[in-house]
Amino acid sequence: MKVAILLTIFLAVSCGSHKINSHLQSKNDAFSEESFMRFGNTRLSKISEENFLNKSLSKCYNGDFKSSLQDLQSNINKYREDKKYWLFIGICYQLYGNQLKANYFYDYALSGENLIQASIYNNKALVALKSSNFEDAHTLLEKSIKLSPNSKVPKYNLAQVYIKFNHLEKARTLIHPLVTSNPNDIDLILSMMTIEIAEGNFTKAYSWAKRFNDENLKREDISLYVALLYYELKRYEEAKAIIGGQRATIIEEIKSATNALSNKINIELERIKEEKDSKDANVKKGVKRVAVKN
């Protein structure tokens, strides 16, 4: 690939690690049964009050950490034997940014069923990823998948690690079954498009890019990769338009990559303009010569 600006966005099974606003409608969210991370306020508000643990966790995803943790801790006598209870407290602390306390409560939950253990290993992998400790993250995600082979989120996250280190076939093996079952999930579509771009399969990548709607194209990571694809296809005007519609982001990696790509697009557009101006000038000279000859 000519423009080495591949990024990776990781998805938490039970906690939000990335800053991209990627709220989805439930019908398009492949991970909705495993994670609240891509739930917007509307979907979170619809979680039943009858499920105390889920409702408490949803408050954490809405940023209401104090209230949620108070509710959970005040019900310790009722739920102390439920490992999911300890898991959810750990998740709230991880969402809040207190990993020390998160790990403390995760340790209480680690004797739970395989799915709970898998969630913990996935969430700890995200901490390793945040610290750029990719080896530990890889090991933790593999443990998570082994414990819960049907869970989608750790497979997605491991695929992002593989993409980052150019193990593209391994990434494809993990993502393709997920996107086949969930063809409208934009994070899965983005992953497949990214793999094809990295392999130089721009026509295949374009077939994935066409699945994004106008609203999707405003998302900072999607707009960056689609613009990159158009750049590689030499469709520079369209690439510039996509970048122009990108919503503001606080993620420095994306801001830097967007600026680098924008500069490259502008250079190509200026080159094309200069070539056109030169050609037009030559045509005018030819016309003048003919006029003089006559």
Q: Report the pLDDT value the prediction gives residue 282, as an integer from 0 to 100.
A: 72
Q: What's the CATH architecture for 1-211? A: Alpha Horseshoe (1.25)
Biggest alpha carbon distance in the chain? 103
Residues 178 and 201 sit within 8 Å (Cβ to Cβ): no
Say what percent of the chain tops pLDDT 90.
Answer: 65
Burial of 6 (0-12, 13-18, 19+ CB in 10 A): middle
Is 62 or 267 the better-scoring residue by pLDDT? 267
User: 144: which residues sit within 8 A by CB, 6+ positions away?
Assistant: 117, 118, 119, 121, 122, 125, 151, 154
Residues 122 and 154 sit within 8 Å (Cβ to Cβ): yes
Give whole-number Cα distances, 225 to 12, 191, 228, 231, 234, in Å: 22, 10, 5, 10, 14
Query: What is the tens place of the pLDDT at every residue in 234-287?
Result: 999 999 999 999 998 888 888 999 999 999 999 999 999 999 888 877 777 665
Q: Report the pLDDT value the prediction gives residue 288, as an integer from 0 to 100.
A: 60
Give whole-number Cα distances, 194 to 29, 120, 143, in Å: 19, 28, 25
Query: Domain ranges in the chain?
Result: 1-211, 215-294
Does position 23 have pLDDT exceeding 80, yes or no? no
Helices (H), 1-98: 41-45, 52-61, 65-74, 76-79, 83-96
Query: What is the tens place of the pLDDT at every residue in 272-292?
Result: 999 988 887 777 766 566 555
Cα 257 from Cα 226, distance rounded (Å): 13
Average pLDDT over residues 1-8: 42
CB atoms within 10 A of CB 107: 12
Q: Is 97 left (phi over 0), alpha (psi -120 to 50) or beta?
A: left
Q: Report the pLDDT value the prediction gives residue 6, as an integer from 0 to 100.
A: 45
Does position 99 have pLDDT exceeding 80, yes or no? yes
